[in-house]
Amino acid sequence: MKLKTQIIWRLEALIYDIVSLFFSLLPFSFVSGLGAIIFKVIGPMTNKHKIVRTGLMIAFPEKSREEINNLASKQWDNIGRTFAEFPVSHKIKIINNKNISVNGLSKAIKNTPALFISGHFSNWEIILSLLIETKLPVQITYRKLNNPYIDARIRKQREKNGARFLIQKSGQTSARNLLKALKNKQSIAMLNDQKFNEGISVPFFGVNAMTAQGFVRLALKTNLPLLPVIVQRKKSKFTINFYEPIHLIKTKNKSLDVENGVIQINKFIEERIRENPDQWFWAHRRWPNFHYE
């Protein structure tokens, strides 16, 4: 590991600690609004802005340049709020919170154990907090951050709040652990909307994109339901919606069954994005790299 990289990582971790401490002293709504103001100014100046606009144009080719720019600005508002809220999100109590509505939770619990599936909408950490609060035995899949020091801090933060199991998404060992958890009547939660190079190429807004297929394979193997859950925001207030299960069809063609299942997930994510396009995380290369050149 290069010394320069180590220094940068440690500086980033120090900044994270300072920001987290500062934000923890302020009201949540103020922190959220401050993040929105900062990112709406800084976001368009970064190289991520081109990625945001490109993704929006791929998903909404019918929209004018002015409409794309307006959506890009609104999504920076959302990203700013989400990033500012993140260091203090684990402190929020979800149930009986006047600023957070939850729809369909009791019905979802009746279907457990299950595979809870979501995406990077609004402040997705709110869903994690809710699942922990319900005391459901849930394992959370995730990918490690590039900065190991910030990754360790986030893991500690989540585990302190009750998330005891954090499993990396990729790899055979991870797949075996997840299957074991399901057989032990534990649920699993996963964000299934970002580019996954080890996945399969299926349409997303009509353009093929590499998408993780592990959740579909687990659902087909265990016959457990895929339960979608999405969080929406109005500034610093949230609504968590649990949807009807995604029903998978099993035939003698396993590969086709997996592909059809992944397509169903992508279609669900698409529909939620169309409802609130400014609340999805556009600042990543969801489609193949050549689209962003």
Question: In what helix (H) or strand (E) does residue 118 lie, and over which residues does it extend?
Answer: strand 115-118
Higher pLDDT, 83 or 164: 83
**pLDDT level of residue 270 (50, 70, 90 thresholds):** very high
User: In this structure, what token pair is assigned to residue 120?
Assistant: 């990077």
Question: How many Å apart are CA 82 and CA 85, to the nearest integer?
Answer: 5
How does pLDDT run across 138-151, given as a tens digit for each residue? 888 877 778 888 88
Residue 104 exposed, middle or buried by CB count within 10 Å (0-12, 13-18, 19+) = middle
Per-residue pLDDT, 166: 59
Q: Kindly report the CA angle at 114 between 111 and 120, in degrees rounded to 5?
A: 115
Check if the beta carbon of residue 211 is closer than 8 Å to that of residue 192: yes
Question: How many Å apart are CA 31 and CA 42, to the nearest integer?
Answer: 16
Report DSSP state, residue 44: G
pLDDT(204) > 80: yes
Question: How many Å apart are CA 27 and CA 121, to the nearest integer?
Answer: 22
- Cα 35 to chain center, whole Å? 18
Q: Structurally, how many domains does the chain consist of? A: 1
Question: How many Å apart are CA 204 and CA 42, to the nearest integer?
Answer: 29
Question: How many Å apart are CA 133 and CA 100, to the nearest integer?
Answer: 13
How far, CA to CA in Å, does 192 sit from each of 87, 149, 265, 269, 288?
23, 25, 8, 9, 17
- Percent of the chain residues topping a pLDDT of 90: 65
Question: How many Å apart are CA 222 and CA 112, to the nearest integer?
Answer: 12
Q: 1-15, 55-69, 91-105, 199-213: lowest mean pLDDT where?
A: 1-15
Residues 6+ apart with CB under 8 A from 254: 220
pLDDT(169) > 60: no
- The separation between the first and the last C-alpha atoms of the chain, rounded to the nearest angstrom, is 30
Per-residue pLDDT, 256: 96
Question: How many Å apart are CA 205 and CA 170, to the nearest integer?
Answer: 25
pLDDT(158) > 60: yes
Domain that holds residue 77: 3-292
Average pLDDT, the chain: 90
**pLDDT level of residue 161 (50, 70, 90 thresholds):** low
Q: Is the peptide bond before 113 cis (omega within 30 degrees of 0)?
A: yes
Give the DSSP letter string of 233-254.
EETTEEEEEE-PPBPP---S-H
